């Protein structure tokens, strides 16, 4: 009687499956020969072979084991291995979030670092933001420094004035206010120039 296990029997490509036919028996006793058809055009021998499955789509492979005893008696068993394609990468999601502090306390030009906006990574993968930009309605643009990365769930605050950048606080380095106090639009773009998010306030 042919019998085998497959471990694992399901998984993402490339999937290495280890087969074990040690539970196979013969009523006549003695040694058995093992012949495998792995269902993908490949074959193999031995009691405990391994086989690598590769597929770009969801695929089910029917595995057939045939055992032969010393008297020529045969038995067979089948099983199924299911292979899934590699899932696409999770999209990067970075959004403007509150607070968007467009109106600094006092005279804006004298308090540029009290003018700032916040972004949060609300996606499921680290956002590599080097080369990303934020621009206002007039097209004045800030570029995120090379190598800047925003972890999942993390915030970054970008102040209009000058200072020393840190992982959660960046500085535009502007010499005058960036954001109008009544109405403006902020556009976040990735390094390719594609719009990631837009934030408008006032009459926008």
Q: For the segment 26-37, what is each residue's pLDDT rounded down to a tens digit?
A: 888 789 999 999
Q: Are 142 and 135 in contact (CB under 8 A)?
A: yes
- Global pTM? 0.60
Q: What is the 3-state secondary structure (H, E, C) of 142-195?
A: EECCCCCEECCCCEEEEECCCCCCECCEEECCCCCCCCCCCCEEEEEECCCCCE
Distance of CA 193 to the CA centre of its chain: 21
- The 8-class DSSP code of residue 22 comes to T
pLDDT score for 203: 57
> What structural domains does the chain harbor?
5-84 (2.60.40.10), 94-201 (2.60.40.1260)
Assess whether pLDDT exceeds 60 at residue 204: no
Distance of alpha carbon 71 from alpha carbon 32, whole angstroms: 10
How much is the CA Rg of the chain, to the nearest whole Å? 31
Q: Residue 24's pLDDT band (boundaries 50, 70, 90)?
A: very high
């Amino acid at each position: 009687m042919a019998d085998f296990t497959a471990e694992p029997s399901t998984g993402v490509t490339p999937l290495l499956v280890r087969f074990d036919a040690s539970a196979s028996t013969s009523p006549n006793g003695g040694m058995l020969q093992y012949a495998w058809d792995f269902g993908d055009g490949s074959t193999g021998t031995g009691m405990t072979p391994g086989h690598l499955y590769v597929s770009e789509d969801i695929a089910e492979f029917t595995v057939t084991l045939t055992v032969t005893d010393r008297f020529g008696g045969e038995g067979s068993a089948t099983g199924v291995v299911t292979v899934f394609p590699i899932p696409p990468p999770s999209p990067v999601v970075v959004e403007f979030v509150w607070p968007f502090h467009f109106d600094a306390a006092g005279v804006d030009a004298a308090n540029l670092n009290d003018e700032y906006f916040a972004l949060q990574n609300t996606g499921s993968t680290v956002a590599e933001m080097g080369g990303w930009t934020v621009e206002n309605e007039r097209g004045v643009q800030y570029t995120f420094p090379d190598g800047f990365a925003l972890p999942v769930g993390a915030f970054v605050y970008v102040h209009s004035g000058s200072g020393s950048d840190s992982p959660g606080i960046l500085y535009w380095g502007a010499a005058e206010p960036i954001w109008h106090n009544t109405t403006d639009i902020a556009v976040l773009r990735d390094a390719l120039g594609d719009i990631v998010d837009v934030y408008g306030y006032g009459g926008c």
